[in-house]
């Protein structure tokens, strides 16, 4: 078991990573005042696999009520947020009670937002169960729901009291979800950690990755920790976590958020970003091919066609400020930088490198 301390002044918390730590969900409350009630929020795929284990542990400290929501992005909505408020008030929760999010990024984001607003904020433990949520969404305190106007448009920055990562839960993920999450791991390799990238290059099979999963998740959380500690509110450094995401969003939008999972879109987006960087003379030549080879070896898509107007639609993306856009470019594997370029130039370059 490994522990990482996130030092955000006033909101310090631990990320606990290990196999089987799900059985110890209640350990957080050791030597602390116990809440009278805990609302456990999960989804219908995760509940039959892991809810009982977590309930059993939490019941040793408190009365537990479990709410099982439908799985999928549409649950990150105003409707299910309201459902959670109703469940919490029916349960008679007070400000000293706790919320626990058990599931992927959807449950984590929704429940995080809910906890941040319930009675002006109650404590939340995050127990992420997808690779994406373990290395990315559960760390850093961003919460959100989707609204008809767009994804993640309503949310808060709200740090959890603890993140509990049981890497054993990854065994039940489909390959699509597992490798989708791995795209974010590859991203950390490209922007920050050459060793991580090279380790994946050498042994890209799921069983090889699972053999080292605790170290891999720890490494990724540690990178995100360093970034978030320097830029909690996403006004500077934190933008580097968007490497591959601008082109990735073009793919997600073009396929109506259903054709490809987020990680698949981001994987190809990283190839596009690296090609762009090479064209601009910022990225070491050969980097795009190296990223492409790795994502191909982990069964992530290496070519995703989109219509030309989709590439131009980026001008409307939220990352476009005025007429320029901040793009994250790799310098080489293991380091990156942010470059501001006119949106028109970005679109032209996208067109030039997309199908290279």
Ligand X SMILES: NC(=O)c1ccc[n+]([C@@H]2O[C@H](COP(=O)([O-])OP(=O)(O)OC[C@H]3O[C@@H](n4cnc5c(N)ncnc54)[C@H](O)[C@@H]3O)[C@@H](O)[C@H]2O)c1
Residues lying near ligand X in the complex (CB under 6 A) are found at: 43, 45-46, 49, 71-73, 76, 103-107, 109, 129-130, 132-133, 136-137, 140, 142, 152, 169, 172-173, 177
Nearest residue (CB) to ligand X, 116 versus 169: 169
Closer residue to ligand X, CB minimum distance, 225 or 275? 225
Both tokens assigned to 153 = 């448009």
State how far the Cα of 218 lies from the Cα of 304, in Å rounded to an integer.
Answer: 31
CB of 77 to ligand X, least distance (A): 11
| Maximum C-alpha span of the chain | 60
Q: Cα 225 from chain centroid?
A: 13
**To the nearest whole angstrom, how small is the minimum distance from the Cβ of residue 105 to ligand X?**
2
Q: Where are the alpha helices (DSSP H) in the chain?
A: 52-59, 78-91, 105-117, 131-132, 175-191, 194-202, 206-211, 213-230, 245-254, 262-279, 287-297, 308-312, 343-354
Q: Provide the minimum distance between the beta carbon of 120 and ligand X in the complex, in angstroms, as a whole number.
A: 21
CB-CB contact of 305 with 168 (8 Å): no
Q: Which residue number, 49 or 320, has a Cβ lying nearer to ligand X?
A: 49
Please state, in angstroms and rounded to a whole number, the distance separating the CA atoms of residues 175 and 181: 10
Nearest to 263 by CA among 169, 195, 174: 174
The token pair at 342 is: 């006119």
The label of the residue with tokens 């060793």 reads 195
For residue 303, the minimal CB distance to ligand X (Å) is 22
Straight-line distance from the first to the last Cα atom of the chain, in angstroms, rounded to the nearest whole number:
44
CB-nearer residue toward ligand X: 51 or 347: 51
Closest to ligand X by CB, 97 or 264: 264
Q: Minimal distance in Å, beta carbon 241 to ligand X?
A: 8
Query: Looking at beta carbons only, is 134 or 283 nearer to ligand X?
Result: 134
* 3-class secondary structure, 36: coil
Three-state SS at 203 = coil
As measured in angstroms, the least distance from the Cβ of 92 to ligand X is 28
């Amino acid at each position: 078991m490994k522990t990482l301390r996130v030092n955000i002044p006033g909101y310090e918390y631990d990320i606990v990573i290990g196999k089987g730590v799900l059985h110890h969900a209640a350990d957080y409350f050791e030597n602390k005042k116990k809440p009278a009630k805990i609302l456990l929020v999960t989804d219908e795929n995760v509940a039959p696999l892991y809810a009982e284990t977590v309930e059993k542990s939490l019941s040793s400290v408190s009365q537990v009520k479990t709410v099982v929501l439908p799985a999928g992005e549409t649950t990150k909505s105003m409707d299910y947020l309201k459902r959670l408020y109703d469940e919490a008030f029916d349960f008679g929760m007070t400000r000293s009670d706790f919320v626990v999010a058990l599931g992927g990024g959807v449950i984590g984001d929704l429940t995080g937002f809910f906890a941040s607003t319930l009675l002006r904020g109650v404590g939340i433990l995050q127990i992420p169960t997808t690779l994406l949520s373990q290395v990315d969404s559960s760390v850093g305190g961003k919460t959100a729901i989707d609204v008809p106007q767009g994804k993640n448009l309503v949310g808060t920055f709200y740090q959890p009291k603890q993140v509990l990562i049981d890497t054993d839960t990854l065994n039940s993920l489909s390959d699509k979800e597992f490798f989708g999450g791995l795209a974010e791991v590859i991203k950390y390799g490209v922007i920050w950690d050459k060793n991580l990238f090279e380790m994946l290059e050498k042994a890209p099979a799921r069983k090889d990755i699972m053999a080292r999963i605790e170290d891999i998740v720890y490494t990724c959380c540690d990178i995100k920790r360093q970034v978030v500690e320097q830029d909690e509110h996403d006004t500077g450094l934190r933008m580097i976590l968007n490497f591959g995401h601008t082109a990735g969003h073009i793919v997600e939008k073009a396929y109506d958020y259903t054709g490809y999972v987020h990680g698949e879109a981001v994987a190809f987006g990283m190839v596009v970003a690296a090609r762009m960087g090479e064209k601009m003379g910022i990225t070491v030549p050969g980097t795009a091919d190296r990223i492409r080879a790795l994502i191909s070896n982990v069964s992530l898509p290496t070519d995703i066609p989109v219509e030309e107007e989709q590439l131009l639609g980026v001008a409307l993306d939220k990352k476009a400020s005025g007429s320029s856009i901040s793009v994250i470019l790799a310098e080489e594997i293991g380091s990156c930088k942010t470059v501001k370029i006119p949106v028109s130039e970005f679109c032209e370059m996208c067109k030039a490198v997309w199908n290279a």
